Amino acid sequence: MRAAVTSGMALIGATYGLARFGYGLFLPQFTQTFEMGSFAAGVISSSSFISYCLSAVIASRIGDHPRRMVMCAGGAATVGSLGVAAAPDLFVLAISVFIAGAGAGFASPGLVALIQRNVAPARQENAQAIVNSGTGAGIVAAGALMFLTVGHWRLAWLTIAVVALLATAATLRADESTARPQVSDPLSPRMPARASELGALTWPIFAATLAGICSAAVWTFGPSIMANAQSSGDNYATLAWMVLGAFGILGATAGKIVQTWSLQTAWSITCVAMSAATILLGLGPGAPVLAYTAVAVFGATYTAMSGVLIVWAVRVTPGRAAEGTIVLFIALAVGQALGSATFGLLQGFVPQGVVFTLAGAVGLLSLTPVMTHQHGATPALPQREGHS
């Protein structure tokens, strides 16, 4: 069991924290090497979120083959990272970032199934929470890698590829259930859900998309504005990224506020805090206390917000909770893709502080569905953390 959990956490760290979210951390170096503008940077970042959506859809169709999903996750992260490391031009970089981002969409459903069939039922919920913390751990690792490979970003991405490959191999090796009859995968319902069954998710989809748009500002451009605002440049931004990841690990438990309060309260708290953190970072990227507080709050509340989305899916579509969760996570990624491209374009016309303020305002708009439709009125249901 321990091997399955440890390797699963490593795979989530490699696919999410490194291959997917690592782009934003290394963006200042990419910008210098390839001489790209903010719009191109935003479009490339959005492609990573789009590939996540596509791979999540594919994963939902092959849910009865978790080992295959793990191989797809590790393969995409490895190949994409190798492409980034060897990219001779902006076009190859863009394609590689797209491929690398797909790994995360395969990793989550595959690992949920592997944990289910390798861990005793009484320990599964805790195991899933530990695996989920891999995102924050991966972000911290990305920051450490940045420090260790100063001025050599290609070496850093080659290392990411190796880490993804090793994590994939370890995860497959830790799967001790291959000789036993396979349990049905929780993300692969017996029959595909009809649109009418997921129709109740209309407002949650709207909220998740707006939250995704808001979060894109920090994920894509946070390190850049911090690096440009301080004389210490990359080191200042890298340490902030590690703080974000560390608090993201803590944020995995913050989603439990929904167990104490209503879903409406949980969503409101996390989205307001995430929006405020986004605005604060845009207003004071060069002020260490303000900026580091902002990224810490963002890391914790983003992770908690994704946990609230899972509970929302469970409550609104209890018979199709797994598919509902996938839909909401895709909506979150679509919002991130839209936000990355839009904010990248806006930075060519307005100050970055204004862009981050607009992003925070969009995040506050995500409260509208909750205020209008009281989905949090029912008792809290047990939740399993996701890997977003």
Chain segment 249-306, per-residue pLDDT in tens? 876 665 566 667 778 888 999 999 999 999 999 999 999 999 999 999 999 999 888 8
Question: Which parts of the chain are beta strand (E)?
Answer: none
Query: Which residues are within 8 A (CB) of 278 and not within 5 positions of it... i.e. 6 or more apart?
Result: 214, 215, 217, 218, 294, 298, 356, 359, 360, 363
Task: Please state the CATH superfamily assignment of the domain spanning residues 200-388 in this structure.
Answer: MFS general substrate transporter like domains (1.20.1250.20)
pLDDT digits (tens, 9 = 90+) for 307-319: 788 778 777 877 6
* pLDDT-derived band at 195, boundaries 50, 70, 90: low
Structural contact between residues 217 and 336, judged by C-beta atoms closer than 8 angstroms: no
Domain covering 1-177 assigned CATH 1.10.150.120 in the classification: no
The boundaries of every CATH 1.20.1250.20 domain in the chain are 1-177, 200-388
When pLDDT is averaged across residues 361-368 and rounded to a whole number, the result is 93
pLDDT digits (tens, 9 = 90+) for 319-353: 666 677 788 889 999 999 999 999 999 988 999 99
Query: Which residues are within 8 A (CB) of 255 and not within 5 positions of it... i.e. 6 or more apart?
Result: 266, 270, 303, 304, 305, 306, 307, 308, 310, 311, 383, 385
The proportion of the chain whose per-residue pLDDT surpasses 90, expressed as a percent, equals: 53
> What distance lies between CA 244 and its chain's CA centroid?
13
Rounded to whole angstroms, the Cα distance separating 155 from 159 reads 6
Q: Between residues 191 and 122, which one has the greater pLDDT?
A: 122
When pLDDT is averaged across residues 99-128 and rounded to a whole number, the result is 82
Average pLDDT taken over every residue of the chain: 84
- Half-sphere exposure of residue 315: CA atoms within 13 angstroms, side-chain side: 23
- DSSP output for 130-194: HHHTHHHHHHHHHHHHHHHTTT-HHHHHHHHHHHHHHHHHHHHHH-TTTTSPPPPPTTS-SSPPP
For position 63, what pLDDT does the model report? Answer: 63
| pTM reported for the whole predicted model | 0.82
Task: Kindly report the number of other CB atoms within 10 A of residue 353's CB atom.
Answer: 15
> What distance lies between CA 186 and its chain's CA centroid?
21
Query: Which residues are within 8 A (CB) of 151 and not within 5 positions of it... i.e. 6 or more apart?
Result: none
CA angle 314, 315, 318 (to 5 degrees): 60
pLDDT digits (tens, 9 = 90+) for 125-136: 667 767 877 888
